[in-house]
């Protein structure tokens, strides 16, 4: 049986985290458990005795990347534990395909990671995952900077027809307010200035434990933490962006005026086939802009959903042209066999999906450039990301880490990552900005 020590040395565990920020938080929680259980954590997987690969299985490309990463490690003789969405989706099948893996652990069983390392078990994947938030071990940060992600809930109760998440992550499960606040306080002590709230859908936060969506109540508590400067909320669900939430966002000074709201499409027929809320998304965008001054809105759309005709696509194109989103992502529809939409008739060819995506991206390039150029001369609160002798790089409140742009600041002031400063914008491109700190 494998034990915690190897020839009297403590086993070194490496980890590769694939996929989204939610997976990254899981990865850091996994490392927290292992660290608490006495293993040595290494960020250099070549130097590790065992490597945990926390996988993504959202679409085919993500699965391929997960499998490639695993095989690259097993081919050089590494012991690999496959964690997260890939074993959750494929279960025993994956064990047959990659028998050389040292162990498998699903999304609802991450707390059993030490049992797998000890050799007490090699396969911990429940058929229907029930997520447990890991509260008893301190998260081991591999990504800490001026901003840090905080996962407030896991799972999803919706059933968008293109999405595998509910089957991979289980029912929506919130963390209690006290638990989120405690983590935010700990992050603040470690020097984090911005906390970024994530979940599959942040706007449903608390419904399962408090009987109603309670994100506003959570924001009130987080806003009271002195050392935190910014609170950013990602992943809104359109029908839950209600007046109470928008008014709370507008009122609380630390909540950045940025809304990330995946709309997926504009045409009611396509939204219906996607099993998304049949609400007037255009009116919603207007309401957000009326209620929150200078708000920046990010959204994503899918091109080539089954049944999408030229007319549907034109509707989407016109919608984007009319509502001029500050930030926009476009994905080509990915047919996943296990989803409802994967079985729909009217699948759109790869060529058309790509062409439509490119059309939207081209449209957005012009919109983004114009919006960014309209910022020239304005002074925008920004967080300092990195400081080097050559340059200071920040990010305005209008930009989320990793997905949006940066602001390159020309200054001689002595600044530290995490500082919030007012930057006067002097130059703008489609993505990034340049600016100075006005005296």
Query: By the criterion CB under 6 A, which residues form the site for ligand SF4?
Result: 156, 158-160, 163, 165-166, 200-201, 237
User: How far lies 228's CA from each of 95, 149, 214, 394, in Å?
Assistant: 44, 13, 20, 17
The smaller minimum CB distance to ligand SF4, of residues 55 and 74, is found at: 55
At closest approach, how far in Å is the CB of 387 from ligand SF4? 37
233 φ/ψ angles, rounded to the nearest 5 degrees: -115, 125
Strand partners, 328: 299
CA distance 208 to 371: 39
Minimum Å distance from CB 82 to ligand SF4? 22
CA distances from 146 to 95, 258, 383, 423 (A): 40, 18, 8, 17
The two tokens of residue 114 are: 């030490």
**With respect to ligand SF4, which residue has the nearer C-beta, 61 or 370?**
61
Nearer to ligand SF4, 250 or 344 (CB): 344
Ramachandran angles phi, psi of 307, nearest 5°:
90, -5
Cβ 114 to ligand SF4 shortest distance, Å: 29
Tell which residue, 53, 92, 235, has the closest CA to residue 156: 235
Nearer to ligand SF4, 13 or 152 (CB): 152
* Least spacing, CB of residue 231 vs ligand SF4, in Å: 21
Picking from 359, 282, 331, the residue whose alpha carbon sits closest to that of residue 163 is 331
- For the bound state, the minimum distance from the C-beta of residue 305 to ligand SF4, rounded and expressed in Å, comes to 12
Which CB sits closer to ligand SF4, 223 or 339?
339
> Whole-number minimum distance, CB 201 to ligand SF4, in Å?
5
Name every residue whose Cβ is closer than 8 Å to that of residue 150 and which is 6 or more positions away in sequence.
25, 180, 183, 184, 187, 195, 196, 197, 198
Q: Cα–Cα distance between 91 and 77 in angstroms, integer?
A: 23
Give the helix/strand (H/E) hosting 81: strand 79-84
What contacts 146, CB < 8 A, 6 or more positions away? Answer: 191, 192, 193, 194, 383, 384, 385, 417, 418
Q: 166 vs 307, which CB is nearer to ligand SF4?
A: 166
Provide, rounded to whole angstroms, the least separation between the CB of residue 155 and ligand SF4. 9
Closest CB to ligand SF4 among residues 199, 409: 199
Within 13 A of 210's CA, how many CA atoms are on the CB side? Answer: 17
- CB of 201 or CB of 326, closer to ligand SF4: 201
Q: Tell me the closest approach of the beta carbon of residue 19 to ligand SF4, in angstroms.
A: 13
């Amino acid at each position: 049986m494998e034990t915690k020590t190897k020839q009297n040395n403590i086993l070194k565990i490496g980890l590769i985290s694939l996929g989204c920020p939610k997976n990254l938080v899981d990865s850091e929680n996994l490392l927290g458990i292992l660290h608490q259980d006495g293993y040595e954590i290494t960020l250099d997987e070549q130097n590790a005795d065992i490597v945990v690969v926390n996988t993504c299985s959202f679409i085919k490309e993500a699965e391929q990347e997960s499998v490639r990463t695993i095989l690259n490690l097993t081919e050089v003789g590494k012991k690999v534990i496959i964690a997260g969405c890939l074993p959750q989706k494929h279960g025993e099948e994956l064990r047959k395909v990659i028998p050389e893996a040292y162990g498998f652990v699903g999304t609802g069983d991450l707390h059993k990671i030490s049992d797998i390392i000890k050799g007490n078990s090699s396969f911990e994947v429940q058929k229907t995952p029930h997520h447990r938030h890991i509260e008893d071990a301190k998260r081991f940060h591999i990504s800490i900077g001026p901003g840090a992600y905080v996962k407030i809930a896991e799972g999803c109760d919706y059933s968008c027809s293109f999405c595998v998440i509910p089957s991979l992550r289980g029912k929506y499960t919130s963390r209690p307010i006290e638990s989120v606040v405690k983590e935010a306080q700990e992050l603040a002590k470690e020097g984090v200035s911005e906390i970024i709230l994530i979940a599959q859908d942040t706007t449903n936060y608390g419904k399962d434990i408090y009987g109603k969506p309670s994100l506003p109540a959570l924001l009130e508590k987080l806003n009271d933490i002195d050392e935190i400067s910014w609170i950013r909320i990602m992943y809104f669900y359109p029908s839950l962006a209600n007046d109470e939430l928008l008014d709370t966002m507008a009122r609380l000074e630390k909540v950045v005026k940025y809304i990330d709201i995946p709309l997926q499409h504009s045409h009611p027929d396509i939204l219906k086939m996607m099993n998304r809320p049949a609400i007037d998304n255009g009116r919603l965008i207007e309401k957000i802009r009326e209620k929150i001054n200078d708000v920046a809105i990010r959204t994503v759309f899918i091109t080539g959903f089954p049944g999408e005709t030229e007319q549907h696509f034109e509707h989407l194109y016109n919608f984007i042209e009319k509502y001029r989103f500050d930030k926009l992502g476009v994905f080509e529809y990915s047919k996943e066999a296990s989803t409802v939409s994967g079985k729909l008739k009217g699948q759109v060819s790869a060529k058309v999906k790509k062409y439509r995506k490119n059309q939207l991206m081209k449209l957005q390039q012009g919109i983004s450039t114009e919006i960014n150029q309209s910022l020239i001369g304005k002074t925008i609160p920004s967080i300092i990301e990195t400081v080097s002798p050559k340059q200071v790089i920040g990010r305005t409140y209008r930009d989320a880490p990793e997905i949006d742009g940066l602001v390159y600041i020309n200054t001689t002031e002595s600044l530290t990552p995490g500082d919030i400063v007012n930057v006067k914008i002097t130059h703008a491109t489609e993505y990034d900005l340049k600016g100075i700190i006005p005296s």
